[in-house]
Amino acid sequence: MRLLSGRGGRTHTLQDRLVWQAASLLLAYPDDELPARLDTVDELLGHLGGPAAALLGQTVAALRAREPMAAATDYVATFDMRRHCTMYLTYWTAGDTRNRGREMVEFATAYREAGVAPPRAEAPDHLAVVLEFAATVDPEAGRRLLTEHRVPIDVLRGALADAKSPYEPTVAAVCATLPAATDQDVRRAERLAKAGPPAESVGLQPFNLTVPPRREGGAPGV
């Protein structure tokens, strides 16, 4: 597995990968495996320190305090029913347009070039998928994908903050592993947060990974 040499060198990269792995587990749908995932995150936090561990720990504590059914209901209401809280990164850059299929191909291609198959049960641009890829497969390619979609991730974090969601600290921890947002990034995030993703294009061609419901009935709200 390759390691980056930038942003503080090997140690910083390893710390970022711990953040990405923990975040990918926390941002997954809270099914019956949630308690085991939270235990794994606690183990990862034992190797982290500082603000990142504190942020991720907030989400862990909030999820442990909730009944399983309540956690699942809140997850669906947050990520599936609120358009501004979608974790499908290309949904922000391309919306439900023909361009979105092309953009998702870029994710799938990055996975294949790293020697792994794109996920079958989830779209390749789902934030939790990208985080797991960056943490466990190819941190260099994963960081590139995350950095290129920094603005959608920032918009998601802001929407979660507005909703007072327990998932906001986790997304904030992910943002802290990426290069600082430029003034242009900030302005673009503000425009996206206000206007939403691009509108549907005429003649939209089908693509088998475009906003597939990860659970029956689940999809970004409109």
3-state secondary structure 70-100: HHHHHHHHHHHCCHHHCCEHHHHHHCCCHHH
Q: Give just the sign of the alpha carbon dihedral 206, 212, 213, 218.
A: negative
- Checking if the pLDDT of 214 tops 50, the result is no
State pLDDT tens for residues 28-77: 999 999 999 999 999 999 999 899 999 999 999 999 999 999 999 999 99
Helices 50-64 and 34-45 cross at an angle (nearest 10°) of 160
Mean pLDDT lowest among 63-67, 145-149, 170-174 = 145-149
Neighbours of 127 (CB within 10 A): 23
Q: How confident is the model at residue 185 (pLDDT cuts 50, 70, 90)?
A: low
Ordered by start, the domain boundaries in the chain are 8-195
Higher pLDDT, residue 44 or 222: 44
Q: Which token pair is 65?
A: 């305090």
Q: How many helices (H) and strands (E) does the chain have?
A: 11, 0
CATH number for 8-195: choose from 3.30.310, 1.10.3480, 1.10.10, 1.20.120. Answer: 1.10.3480
Please give the pLDDT value at position 34. 96
pLDDT of residue 181: 65
Give the model's pLDDT for residue 222: 32
In 114-182, which residue ranges form alpha helices assigned H by DSSP? 127-136, 139-148, 150-162, 168-176
3-state secondary structure of 169: helix
Which residue did the predictor score with more confidence, 18 or 184? Answer: 18
Please enumerate in sequence order all residues whose Cβ is within 8 A of that of 108, keeping only pairs 6 or more positions apart, or say none: 118, 124, 209
* pTM, rounded to two decimals: 0.79
Q: What is the mean pLDDT of the chain?
A: 81
d(CA 150, CA 181): 8
Is pLDDT at 204 greater than 60 in this prediction? no
Per-residue pLDDT averaged across 118-128, rounded?
91
Q: Provide the sign of the torsion angle of the four alpha carbons 47, 142, 151, 101, taken in this order.
A: negative
